[in-house]
Amino acid sequence: MSHHKIIVIGTGPAGYTAAIYASRANLAPLVFEGAQPGGQLTITTEVENYPGFREGIMGPALMDEMRAQAERFGTVIKAETVLKADLASSPRTITTDQGTYTCDALIIATGASAKWMGIRKDEELSRTGGGVSACATCDGFFFRGKEIAVVGGGDTALEEATFLTKFASKVTLIHRRDRLRASKAMQERAMRNEKIAFKWNAVVEDILTRDHDLPTGGTVAKVATLKLKDTVTGASEDLPVEGLFVAIGHQPNTSLFTGQLPMNEAGYLDVEPGSTRTPVAGVFACGDVQDHQYRQAITAAGSGCMAAIDAERWLSEHG
């Protein structure tokens, strides 16, 4: 069993940024990368909104850069998944699929995963730039002048649909019931928006694609038609669209901390406002695992920086 001043769980933008700051503060962080080395951006193509890359950058390339930057300052990254975190023990004990480690300060950067519909191709098309997305802020810009659809019935779905009308010529909101879960104010705003149409009692059964030529050669399959099924009558219908936004929620990766750290009803970790401190001394949380609002690479990286600074200050007082 080895002891470390700081352990970071996760290698998305939050974990890598925490590692860059902690290693430059001479804290020699140990980082566990888990099942998705590089985090969520490794399953996307072009990232156009991360500052510093005027032409955009591919998600996996951006994460490779962050990893190399963390390693340059001495961060040790292990290809291990944390199976247990004992936050009551002193020092804190972390058990992975390959060993047991202890630390003075722990930074949790385990992220969140978008929920997909579980039908043929939705997640796959989101990885290949095929016109399916779970993030309007990230990808709305690619759908200027196009007809698109949003699936969902909560606040997020209506917020995404309303935001997307800035770009799309028409947004069809597909909801499995005949009434929305979203707040009254959000519903009224969406209903007033002439670009939003509603498809009630409907689910997406299949996504049909069409091949598009790429400027670099080759082709990419992109959304062309949604096969809808009426949840009441069972009737089928085709909806021609060029994009599909899935807004049925996110799953924060917090099961390791159930019963040990406070979470909101959706499972996101609670941190002290304006900081990354959890109620457990020396335990900090950053990135999407504690952020159900912004969920962006830059905000995750920003809070990773905060977590390293919070941890460094805590260690200098308690370490």
Give the nearer residue to ligand FAD in terms of CB position, either 201 or 299. 299
| Nearer Cβ to ligand FAD (6/47) | 47
Catalytic residue among 103, 122, 138, 291: 138
Residue 139 catalytic? yes
Residue closer to ligand FAD by CB (options 126, 162) is: 126
Q: What is the closest distance, in whole angstroms, from the C-beta atom of residue 133 to ligand FAD in the complex? A: 6
Q: What's the chain look like in SS3?
A: CEEEEEEEECCCHHHHHHHHHHHHCCCCCEEECCCCCCHHHHHCCEECCCCCCCCCEEHHHHHHHHHHHHHHCCCEEECCCEEEEECCCCCEEEEECCCEEEEEEEEECCCEEECCCCCCCHHHHHHCCCCEECCHHHHHHHHCCCEEEEECCCHHHHHHHHHHCCCCCEEEEECCCCCCCCCHHHHHHHHHCCCEEEECCEEEEEEEEEEEECCCCCEEEEEEEEEEEECCCCCEEEEECCEEEECCCEEECCHHHCCCCCECCCCCECCCCCCCECCCCCEEECHHHHCCCCCCHHHHHHHHHHHHHHHHHHHHHHC
Q: Residue 170 Cβ, how far from ligand FAD at the closest point, in Å?
A: 23
In the complex, the smallest distance separating the C-beta of residue 187 from ligand FAD, rounded to whole angstroms, is: 26
CB of 32 to ligand FAD, least distance (A): 4
Catalytic residue among 103, 104, 122, 135: 135
Nearer to ligand FAD, 146 or 170 (CB): 146
For ligand FAD, the closer CB: 199 or 222? 222
Active site residue 135: yes
Residues in touch with ligand FAD (CB under 6 A): 9-15, 32-37, 39-41, 43-44, 47, 49-50, 81-82, 109-112, 114, 126, 134-135, 138, 253, 256, 287-289, 295-298, 300
Smallest gap from residue 57 Cβ to ligand FAD (A): 10
As annotated, the active-site residues are: 135, 138-139
